[in-house]
Amino acid sequence: MLSEDELVLIYRKNTGPLYAFVSRRVGGDRALAEDIVQEAWMRAVATWPRRGVPEQPAAWLKRVAKNLLASHFRRRRPRPVDPNEIHLEDDRFSPETPWAAALVNWGLARMRRGQADLIEAFHIEGKSLREIAEETGLSERAVEGRLSRARAKLRRRLLPYITDEPTRGNENAEQART
């Protein structure tokens, strides 16, 4: 049985890293990051007393958060993004604004999980090809090839939404945030 003290300790140890994990994926959109983290914890509180705390609570919470993000972005239609906000040609691209992050996550939510996980590991988590190869049991060359194909697929999916013309929705959202 999970005691309240145990849950509080797990919460204190994992909330900061979980928030950072989610925040990187939403381009700093605080409200969305907080909602995702809160929902992940609510699922933990509902599940863990019945099934027990997983061996790696942080990994469990991250997987739930990734699934919640995928569901969130799958339901939303992306807004066009200015090409200056996202540099898909850069091997180390990282979405820097909430709109670019939303667009990238929308695209990732429509890809096979393995491809999306590779892109996230390399571009968002900043892991090296060697680290990814060790985690996946593949050669570095195989990871590099799969990553290249996954990036090409993501680019094709996102290019129709990258435009030089700012949208009213983006301008209004920017004004609301400042």
Q: Where in the chain are the domains?
A: 4-75, 83-167
Location of structure tokens 């969305």: 32
Put simply, whether the predicted model's pTM sits higher than 0.85 gets the answer no
The 10 Å Cβ neighbour count of residue 178 is 4
What pLDDT digit, counting tens, does each position of 86-116 carry? 766 666 566 667 788 888 888 998 899 899 9
Q: Which CATH number fits domain 4-75: 3.30.450, 1.10.287, 1.10.8, 1.10.1740?
A: 1.10.1740
Query: What pLDDT was estimated at residue 154?
Result: 92
State which amino acid sits at residue 156.
Answer: R
**Which segments in the chain show pLDDT lower than 70?**
87-96, 164-178
Give 122-138 pLDDT, tens digit per residue.
988 889 999 999 999 99
Structure tokens at 121: 């590991």
Cα distance between residue 38 and residue 113, in whole Å: 23
Q: In the structure encoding, which two tokens stand for residue 109, read together?
A: 């939510």
pLDDT value of position 98:
79
Contact 143, 136 (CB under 8 A): yes
Structural domain 83-167, CATH architecture: Orthogonal Bundle (1.10)
The predicted pLDDT at position 167 comes to 46
